[in-house]
Amino acid sequence: MAGGRRAAGLALGWGCCLLLCCAAASRMEVSMPAVVEVEIGDTARIECNFYIPENDSYTYINWFYIDGNNQVRLCHIVGSKVVEDNTDYKGRLSVGEDKALSISKVTVQDARTFVCQVEAGSHGAGENRSELRVYKVPETPEIVANSGGISVHSTDIPQIAQCVSRNGFPFSNITWYKNGKQLQQQEKMVKTMDTLTRESSGLYTVSSTLFARVTREDRNSHYHCTVHYWLRGQRRTMESRPVNVTVFYPAQHVKLQVMPSSMLVKEGDNVKLVCEADGNPAPVFSFYKRDLGDWQDVSSLADANSGVLYLRDVTKNSSGLYRCQTLDLDDMGQLEQDVELVVNYIEEVRVKMEPSSPLKEGDSVRLSCDANSPVALDYQWRDDKGKKVAEGNQLFLSNLTFETSRNFSCKVIAPSVPGLEQSKQVAVAVQGKPRIVAISSPLYVRQDEVVNLTCKAIAFPKPSVHWNVNGTAHEYIENQHIASNLTVRVNHDLLRAGAMCRVSNALGVSEKHIQLLVESIRKDQKTPESKGVIIVAIIVCILVVAVLGSVIYFLHKKGKIPCGRAGKQDITKPEARKDKIVVEVKSDKLSEEAGLLQGANGEKRPAADQSEKYIDLRN
């Protein structure tokens, strides 16, 4: 039962098989791909599939290639034996288990049709064919831009760049792009010239040259080329790097400006007039200055290549209208631009003095300052030490003395023009006959002692000092004062008559007498004990004053005087306003004060009173 069922299944299977086999037997079918693609250098594998019914084997298999009208046999297979024919392919062929034909190291020449023919005895023969296509991806396109500049005015369509893509198969195409946008051929505007070269290897090198007109905007354009090729039935592309070209174009605008522009120009400044044109290459620059209606060529002061006119240390004469003119050497076009240069200045600073007559001590004077300038001015007054003493264009000086006599300057400032200022000095000279401000009199001396007689005076014009005694005089100037030291040896005549200092200038004479008083040899030298006596005396004095109080102070006025006199005696003369001679006298003994006072009053002074003296000459 089970075997019968199996037999029935088998019979059904056979029936089916027979149907198929009969269909196949009627015409033996060989199946092959229509196209086999392989990259040059690789191995191509061409399959050949067939079906022979009833487990029959093939009698033989032939592989051919088609050469024109001929079929050239490559090999034949009988049983499991492969016999290669003597063709160009010898050595590059192999047949697999599945009877597929492999061709190694495929070349361009291998691009042809291959035929597989199968003969299977009673089942007849069948064949089919495959087209072997070979390909080679071309190399990345190389692009070379026109290295010279390209003028927008060029008469021919100028060459932009050349693009080459080598060793492709089959041949490829090159297209061009500007700023990423494909360029189309356009009459008199865009043109390409393509060449195709077949290399000895059979590969193709394509090259293309782009010609296109340029505009000034193209100074920023970039160009690239793309190679298009086929690969396994698909369109592929490869791009070159982008390149740019130098475009020559005439200037359209010219700009002329004063530098530095941030600041107002003043006399003495170094100024540049900078002319800029937007052409490439830069045009030739010329500069002119308008002078009395004519344009004077001042290009000699300029760097014609860079378009900068240098004006150094400008004066108000440098003011005016300047022109920059550009000449384009390509199309001989000219452009021009003007700029006004304003040089600010302050000139003719004048100081008027009222009264203008010579000034005397005690006079007052008014100084007025004035100047010329195109801009508003501020005035300041400074003394000869540079210190600001007043603002405004007037300065009033009263109670003039020789000492106040000095140089003032009027400083004129233009606040609107940073750094613009001028000043003018004026001497306020107080004139008059000399005034003796210090004299070393009376002078306590010893016989035969070498002493200095000092006389100090002030005057304008500068006075001269004369002494009526012989000696060595030294004159020196100190803060407008003139002082003279006369070094003399004390003798009898000098003691008797004293000395006379005579100071004179063109406006008069002043004289002062120096009295010399003899101090005898001191009896007691200054010792620590005598200092102690002074201290005790001062303490006693303070005690007396403290204890007795003001009422008793008046009652004991006589006893108090020594304390009050133990200080300084100012011998400044009434007319001495600034300079003083201070004679400091210190006594050893309070009891000697009366005698000292007497001496100071011009009387003959008791000897041995004086122990120490200071002469302090101050300004």
Ligand X SMILES: *[C@@H]1O[C@H](CO)[C@@H](O)[C@H](O)[C@H]1NC(C)=O
Within residues 512-551, the interface with ligand X by CB under 6 A covers none
* Closer residue to ligand X in complex, CB, 172/587: 172
- Nearest 5 degrees, angle CA 446-CA 452-CA 455? 130
Largest CA distance in the chain: 189
- Nearest 5 degrees, angle CA 143-CA 148-CA 149? 110
Tell me how far apart the alpha carbons of residues 360 and 364 are, in angstroms, rounded to a whole number.
Answer: 9
Cβ 201 to ligand X, closest distance in Å? 19
Cβ 248 to ligand X, closest distance in Å? 11
Query: Which listed range, 101-109, 117-125, 252-260, 468-476, lies at the site for ligand X (CB under 6 A)?
Result: 468-476
Please, what sign has the CA dihedral across residues 47, 48, 51, 52? negative
14 with 20: CB under 8 angstroms? no
Q: Which of 229, 288, 408, 460 binds ligand X (CB under 6 A)?
A: 229
x/- letters, 49..88, toward ligand X (CB under 6 A):
-----xx---------------------------------
Q: Which of 244, 257, 515, 572 binds ligand X (CB under 6 A)?
A: 244
Within residues 354-393, the interface with ligand X by CB under 6 A covers 384
The size of the interface with ligand X (CB under 6 A), counted in residues, is 33
Cβ 268 to ligand X, closest distance in Å? 11
* Closer residue to ligand X in complex, CB, 288/402: 402
425 binds ligand X per the rule CB under 6 A: yes
191 binds ligand X per the rule CB under 6 A: no
In 292-413, the DSSP E strands lie at: 294-297, 302-303, 308-311, 320-327, 334-341, 343-344, 347-354, 365-372, 378-382, 388-391, 394-397, 406-413
Query: Which listed range, 153-161, 179-187, 222-230, 516-524, lies at the site for ligand X (CB under 6 A)?
Result: 222-230
Q: Which two tokens stand for residue 318?
A: 């440098």
184 binds ligand X per the rule CB under 6 A: no
466 with 436: CB under 8 angstroms? no
Tell me how far apart the alpha carbons of residues 254 and 25 are, in angstroms, rounded to a whole number.
Answer: 93
Tokens 């009295």 belong to 515
Closest by CA to 133, choosing from 194, 42, 215, is 42
* Closer residue to ligand X in complex, CB, 268/532: 268
Q: Which two tokens stand for residue 476?
A: 């020196």
Per-position DSSP letters for 434-500, written without gaps between them: EEEEEE--SEEE-TT-EEEEEEEEEEESPPEEEESS-SEEEEEEETTEEEEEEEEE--HHHHHH-EE
Q: Which two tokens stand for residue 240?
A: 């070159």
* Closer residue to ligand X in complex, CB, 145/596: 145
* Closer residue to ligand X in complex, CB, 310/476: 476
485 binds ligand X per the rule CB under 6 A: yes
What proportions of the chain, in percent to the nearest 5, are helix, strand and coil? Answer: 15, 50, 35
Query: Which listed range, 102-110, 115-123, 467-475, 555-563, lies at the site for ligand X (CB under 6 A)?
Result: 467-475
Q: Which of 117, 159, 172, 319 binds ligand X (CB under 6 A)?
A: 172
31 binds ligand X per the rule CB under 6 A: yes
- Nearest 5 degrees, angle CA 279-CA 283-CA 287? 125
341 binds ligand X per the rule CB under 6 A: no
* Closer residue to ligand X in complex, CB, 221/337: 221
Binding site for ligand X (CB under 6 A): 29-32, 54-55, 128, 172-173, 228-230, 244-246, 315, 317, 384, 398-399, 406-407, 425, 427, 452, 454, 469-470, 474, 476, 485, 487, 615
